[in-house]
Amino acid sequence: MSSEMPTESPEVPTENTVPAEVPDVEGKVKSNDGQVERQEAGSGKAQCLEPMSKRQRKKLLKQKQWEEQKDLRRQKRKEKRQKRKLERQSKLDSNNEGNDRKRMRKEVVPSTLRLIVDCSFDDLMVLKDVKKLHKQIQRCYAENRKAFHPVQFYLTSHGGQLKNNMNENDKGWVNWKDIQIKTEHYSELIKKEDLVYLTSDSPDVLGELDEKKAYVIGGLVDHNHHKGITYKKAVELGIGHAQLPLGNFVKMNSRKVLAVNHVFEIILAYLEKRDWKEAFFSVLPQRKGAVPLGETNDASRHVLSEKEDGDNDLDSN
C-alpha cells in the first residue's frame, strides 16, 4: 500500500458528518468555535433546534383537530338537546292520549233500562246449580260495572241457598255498588205495565229495547228440567213477555235457551251497538255453535253437546 493513499481515520471527521453544534451529555452545547453555551430547557430556541418527536407531532395534530371540530361538537350537542326535548314532548302527548282514553272510559252513560234477575226459583235448584247461578250473577255484576251503558241492575227475591252461598264464598257482595239487592218479589217493586219477562218460550219476539221498561231474567240453572216455567209465571201474573230475536239472526246448534249471564250481556251489548246480530255474536260462546243465518257452520262438528256444555258454570242453563 502506498503512503500517499488517503486513509480514513475515526479521529479525523469528514465534512458534513459533524453538526455545527453537538449537545454533550450534560445538556451543554459545544459550538464549533469551541465556546460552551447553556441550553435552556423548553426555550423557543431549543424547540426550534430539537426535531419534534412522533408523540409530540401526534399530540399537536390531535389538538389541532380538537380545535377544528369544536363547532361540529357544539352542533351535535344542540341536536341531542333538541332530540331529547322532542322525545319528552311526545311522551307527554302520549300520556295525554292515555288520559283522554281514561276519560272516554269514564264517560259512561247509564241506561234507564231496568234489568232484573228474578231469584224466586231458589228451592228448585240443587246446591251445585245454585253455585253456578251465583257465578253467573257475579259475571253480570262485573260486566255491568264495565259497560258503556250500564243498566239499573236488580236482584229480587234474594235469599235462601243463593244468599247463604254468597255469604260463604263472596262476603264482599254486601258492598256491591250500583245494584239493588232486594228480598221482595219484582212484582212488589215495579209497576206491572213496566214489566217484560224475557223467556225463550214466549211467542213474542223482542224488537227494540224500551229503556222505560223493566226486563226480567229467570235466575235459574235447571238444564231444562223446568221447561216453560218462566213463561207460565209471566202469563199468570199478566205481564209482558218476549224471547230474544235469536232466530232472526243466528242458527244455533242447541236450543235457544241461554244462561242468565249471556242474556244479561246480550242486553248490555245491544244497548251499546244497537244491533242484535252484533250483540249476539259478541257474547255467545263459539261452542253454542252460533252462526249467522245463511252460513254453514263447519265448526258444528266440534261443538259440544248441551250436556257437556253444562259443565261450564257461565254457559250452564
Question: Which residues contact ligand SAM (rule: CB under 6 A)?
Answer: 198-200, 217-218, 220, 222, 224, 226-230, 243-244, 246, 256-260, 263, 317
Task: List CB contacts of 121: < 8 A, sequence separation 6 or more.
Answer: 218, 219, 220, 222, 226, 229
* Cα 251 from Cα 291, distance rounded (Å): 5
Q: How far is the CB of 89 from ligand SAM (least distance, A)?
A: 53
- Given the residues 118, 222, 309, 315, select the one marked as catalytic: 222
Instruction: Copy the grid coordinates of residue 79.
Output: 341536536
Q: Report, in angstroms and rounded to the nearest whole number, the Rg of the chain calculated over CA atoms.
A: 47
Q: Which residue is nearest to ligand SAM (CB)?
A: 218
Give 239 or 260: the residue with its C-beta nearer to ligand SAM.
260
Longest CA pairwise span in the chain (Å): 157
Closer Cβ to ligand SAM, 5 or 214, answer by number: 214
Grid coordinates 249471564 are at which residue? 261
CB of 227 to ligand SAM, least distance (A): 5
Does an H or E element contain 129, and which?
helix 127-146
Q: Which residue lies nearer to ligand SAM by CB, 1 or 210?
A: 210
Residue 93 Cβ vs ligand SAM, minimum distance, rounded to whole Å: 47
- Least Cα distance to 210 among 188, 242, 246, 171 occurs for 242
* Shortest CB 149 distance to ligand SAM, Å: 19
Counting DSSP H helices and E strands in the chain, the numbers are 11, 11
Of 151, 153, 168, 155, nearest in space to 119 by CA: 155
Q: Is 222 a catalytic residue?
A: yes
Residue with Cβ nearer ligand SAM (111 or 202): 202
Least Cβ distance, residue 90 to ligand SAM (angstroms)? 50
Q: How far is CA 105 from the centre of its chain?
A: 14
Q: Which is nearer to ligand SAM, 147 or 206 (CB)?
A: 206
- 77 conformational bin, left if phi > 0, alpha if psi -120 to 50, beta if neither: alpha
**Known catalytic residues?**
222
